[in-house]
Structure 1
Amino acid sequence: MNKIVKFFTKDSSLIPLMAILLGLLFGAVVMLLGGYNPLLAYTALFQKVFGDLYNIGETIRQITPLIFTGLSVAFAFRTGLFNIGAEGQFVMGSLGAVWIGTQFALPWYIHAPLAIIVGALLGGFWGAISGYLKAKRGVNEVITTIMLNYISLYLANYIIANYLRAPGQQRSEIIQDSASISLNTLSEFFGYARLHWGIILAILAAFVFYIILWKTKMGFELRAVGFNPHAAEYAGMNVNKNVINAMFIGGVFAGLGGAIEVLGVFKYMTISASLPGYGFDGIAVALIGANTALGVIFAAILFGVLEFGAAGMKFVAGVPIEVIEIVIASVIFFVAASGLVKFILKPFRRKEKGGAVE
């Protein structure tokens, strides 16, 4: 036991792993108090995710939009802004993609890329609105992004209902085959799971995220403005321009996620009474991933596995959805609250320094 403790306390990079274990342990306690078998529940979770190729493919599909929205939120956080509007940017990206996908007849090598680009730009524009209001009017971006989430929902519903609606349906027309980004061959290998090019684009987006922030002059200015806008302005940087740019780029990431979800999974957009939820999940993904590109990918994997595997816990172990949400929330809590994990491990670190842990 002491060797296990030493393994987790020796390297700070293993703190997130310890946090996940603590979250699962806490979730097990909650299930025991509720009269459920945590061992059966967790076994069902992993069997649901990794039990066959179809479920593995569907888990990858679940992870993909979370990477995009996580990158969107993380980019804003890195530049000193709070993008709570990835949800609305995701919706606008979906709307842009479904508009191009249904209303134009183009060759596939033009149609799909154009739909993705339009969706990304529309998401970026939606984010830039909050950036402009912050830069030019001093309006807090938290307020405007939250409000724009619901404006995007009702605007999308209006446009679908009046311009893109399929006859007799509560949804848009289905996108043309030339706009689809499905991976048919790979999908067949994974038991016809809804796999698409989005996972590759998501990894490329994470790479672009890193390059922009850490390898470009613009990225340096964005981070400088976020760290200290007054010092950045004194150094000759255009603070207002960088605020707008940061929110625009963050919106592009979320818009990409929305466009790819429409073009690769659903093929249409519904008239909905609620937001899809990927943007709000992206906030947790960004926090868990410490606002880094690689961290967001791993956090999205964790979040996607927990969410997709929850169905196994419900149907196999009989765990109600409310308890499952507590389990997922406890894992997120311990991963996000790394300071609490370090505090819990502090006595073991002292023993290690004193030579008690061997």
Structure 2
Amino acid sequence: MLREIATGNAIISVLAVVLALIVGAIMIAFTDERVQSAAGYFFARPGDTFVAIWDSVSGAYAAFFQGSIYNFRRPEFASGIRPLTETLTFATPLIAAGLGVGLAFRVGMFNIGGRGQMLMASAAAGWVAFSFDLPWGIHMIVALVAGLIAGALWAGIAGLLKARTGAHEVIVTIMLNYVALYLITWMLRTPGLLQAPGSNNPKTPPMKDTAVFPDLLGPQYNLHFGFVLAIAAVVLVWWILDRSSLGFQFRAVGENPNAARVAGINVKSMYLYAMLISGALVGLAGVSQVLGTVTTGFSSGIDAGIGFDAITVALLGRSTPWGILAAGILFGAFKAGGFSMQAAEGVPIDIVLVVQSLIVLFIAAPPLVRSIFRLPAPGSAPRRPRPIVTKEVEAK
């Protein structure tokens, strides 16, 4: 059992995070002014340098914990748990977008167009949210559906082109990112489309209250109904991939499209269906931003880099729904705790970004992680002790 754990993919993801945190600790120590000052007289009093290193690293990671999980300095539990709710709020669009990217990975496709799909979904959901007067609940559902459809159709363009012409989805989705960005930018500067009436700024009007996601824990927290939708999306993707015939076809195409074609699976249709579902999931991230986080109006930066962060989340989660859920929460903690580290300890926010990048680097190099921690390679058989050979001596 221990050997199965040591050779599995999950342990590589965990150790990649550990290695990234270790490298992050080294960078925190090197950039700390107290450590630099103590290092100036290291040979006179080396203990001061080690104490400064410990204070710097422990203080930074303690601030990270208090900014992302629980703040022990707060007198009440309700206020102390607020950092965890912020982590879940940041994680909500990351989980949804990561599911979209991960599902495309399972079909052998690389959906790098998360930014464009989020922008189109945000524009559709936002336009419905501020343009129509509908009853509470119905207005939210209509805006949500509009965003999901917009994201699905925008990603479906890449799926259709790949199915009909063989165009590579990476190139198509990258180009669609630019098309969506400039299209939304133009719409935000055009009165009567997305621009707020009477304003010269490229920003939409505020969302109407009937379309905004309700708070889950009350107005004192930012956690909203989008997190529930993200969890429902995790369960839905798990059911599609592991319990449905469509998911079986997705996995078959992802493993070997030629063998899937010989087995009678319509590979071209699978590419189209996968991109439609992937775009809808990424679109859910855009809808969560508009109806749950930026309800006072949004600009062309509504995606906040989530479309690209979702690729990292999908890689860390090994393209499995539950792994993506855990990875999304982890990266939500990085976003929430990074600001606390910067405010409390003066740690540059760029170090958090470097840690995230190192996680991707280590995940992309499993042999490096295995060699550092001396883990056995997958498929290698355990060494068996050599049998003791004895000679029988004939009695004379």
Q: Normalised by the size of structure 1, how large is the TM-score?
A: 0.89
Q: Which residue of 1 is the match for residue 58 of structure 2?
A: 39
1:227 aligns with 2:246: no
Displacement after TM superposition at 1:9 (Å): 5.2
Higher-RCO chain (CA-CA 8 Å, sequence separation at least 6): 1
Query: What CA distance in whole angstroms lies between the structure 1 residues aligned with 2:302 and 2:384?
Result: 56
Q: Which residue of 1 is the match for residue 128 of structure 2?
A: 100
Q: Which residue of 1 is the match for residue 44 of structure 2?
A: none
Q: Which residue of 1 is the match for residue 214 of structure 2?
A: 182
Displacement after TM superposition at 1:20 (Å): 2.1
1:26 aligns with 2:26: no
Q: Which runs of 5+ in 2 are unaligned?
A: 34-55, 72-79, 386-396
Per the alignment, in what secondary structure is the counterpart of residue 302 of structure 1? helix
Displacement after TM superposition at 1:139 (Å): 1.0
Query: What CA distance in whole angstroms lies between the structure 2 residues aligned with 1:347 and 1:119?
Result: 45
Please identify, of 259-268 and 317-326, the stretch whose mean Cα deviation from structure 2 is larger: 317-326
Query: What CA distance in whole angstroms lies between the structure 2 residues aligned with 1:118 and 1:53?
Result: 34
**Greater share of helix residues, 1 or 2?**
1
Alignment of 1:238-249 (within 5 A): 238-249=266-277
Q: Which runs of 5+ in 1 are unaligned?
A: none
Query: What CA distance in whole angstroms lies between the structure 1 residues aligned with 2:330 and 2:100?
Result: 18
Alignment of 1:60-79 (within 5 A): 60-79=88-107
Native 8 Å contact 1:23 1:333 kept in 2: no
Q: Normalised by the size of structure 2, how large is the TM-score?
A: 0.80
Query: What CA distance in whole angstroms lies between the structure 1 residues aligned with 2:334 and 2:118?
Result: 22
Native 8 Å contact 2:60 2:345 kept in 1: yes
Q: Which residue of 2 is the match for residue 165 of structure 1?
A: 195
- Gap change, CA 1:138 and 1:268, over 3 Å in 2: farther
Query: What CA distance in whole angstroms lies between the structure 2 residues aligned with 1:69 and 1:274?
Result: 14
Alignment of 1:104-253 (within 5 A): 104-162=132-190, 163-166=193-196, 167-168=198-199, 169-183=201-215, 186-188=217-219, 192-253=220-281
**CA deviation map 1:57-106 (0-9, x unaligned):** 22111000000110010000000100001121111111111011111111
Native 8 Å contact 2:116 2:181 kept in 1: yes
Please identify, of 131-140 and 152-161, the stretch whose mean Cα deviation from structure 2 is larger: 152-161
- Gap change, CA 1:249 and 1:273, over 3 Å in 2: closer
How many residue pairs match? The answer is 345
Per the alignment, in what secondary structure is the counterpart of residue 108 of structure 1? coil
Query: What CA distance in whole angstroms lies between the structure 1 residues aligned with 2:148 and 2:93?
Result: 13
Q: Percent identity?
A: 38
Cα-Cα RMSD: 2.6
**CA deviation map 1:163-201 (0-9, x unaligned):** 122121431111111111121x6133xxx2222111111
